[in-house]
Amino acid sequence: MNITQDTPVGSIVVERLGRASVFERLGIDYCCHGATPLEKACAERSLDVDHVLAEIAESDQRGVNEDVDRVDYSAMPAGDLADQIVATHHVYLRRELPRLSELIDKVVAAHSSNHPELIEVRQTFAALRQELEMHLMKEERVLFPLVKQLEAALEPFSIHCGTVENPIRVMEHEHDSAGSALQRIRELTSNYRAPDDGCASFTALYDGLSCLESDLHLHIHKENNILFPRAAALESALMAAKG
């Protein structure tokens, strides 16, 4: 791909996953807003687009040297990618969400008198956890099985939700909501920097929240920018074959 100012940021990461680390560090949203052209994404963050392009090129060279981009998720069959998302990101969330909830409660109890922002961190995280746990269930019980059906189908079939685009829109809306919650947590935690008077648990909490954000960004990227367009294309191909 010849990356230009008009290239969507999601497509840039689809081609080479190692570029996600550049966007993470610069605060460019390549997952929920993957269709945003690079120039606009840079303008929103007051970044020089030529500097960002240079950083992407440097990241690509490191990837070649370190062989970090061995998995091409865009080349995976849709059903295999759905399974990979469950085995990697869903499992991670089901482990980390309860652990972080307990850690937040501990840190709030010890430090909220000096750091009242922790109260809102806990509230925002609790709402995020509740939404994500329902989100995982809907993907595993509705959308992902439907994606596998579409991939295996030889002719169009009746879909209970009308079209795969309908659950996709719901999932994308929930991704946007999760992205907003993560952004608010990042603001409240001063980019996950624990205060000088914070204990080890305080530092562990902010590290955990930072890791959660990075994993969710990659999770959403795989779905919004790879899996969901593939599912829609599978359905379109079936309908075209019928016509």
Q: Average of pLDDT values for 34-47?
A: 94
pLDDT higher than 80, residue 64: no
pLDDT tens-digit series, residues 144-155:
999 999 999 988
pLDDT on residue 61 = 82
The average pLDDT across 66-89 equals: 85
- Say what the pLDDT of residue 62 is: 75
- Model's pTM, two decimal places? 0.88
Q: Which residues are 8's β-sheet partners?
A: 37
Distance CA 61, CA 72 (A): 17
Answer positive or negative: Cα dihedral of 153, 159, 165, 167.
Answer: negative
- The mean per-residue pLDDT over the stretch 31-51 comes to 93
Write out the two tokens for 217: 């960004």
As a whole number, mean pLDDT of residues 117-138 equals 97
pLDDT of residue 68: 47
Compute the distance between CA of residue 74 and CA of residue 229 in angstroms, rounded to an integer: 11
pLDDT at 8 over 80: yes
Distances (CA, A) of 237 to 102, 158, 233: 47, 15, 6
Mean pLDDT along residues 152-167: 88
Integer Cα distance of 95 and 98 in angstroms: 6
- For the chain, the structural domain boundaries read 9-66, 73-242
pLDDT surpassing 70 at residue 65: no
What pLDDT score does 63 carry? Answer: 66
**What average pLDDT is seen over the chain?**
92
pLDDT at 208 over 80: yes
**Token duo for residue 9:** 């940021």
Instruction: Give residue 217's pLDDT.
Output: 94
Which pLDDT tens digit goes with each residue over 213-222? 999 999 999 9
The pLDDT tens digits of the residues spanning 106-117 come to: 999 999 999 999
Q: Is the per-residue pLDDT at 69 higher than 80?
A: no
Residue 142: strand, helix, or coil: helix
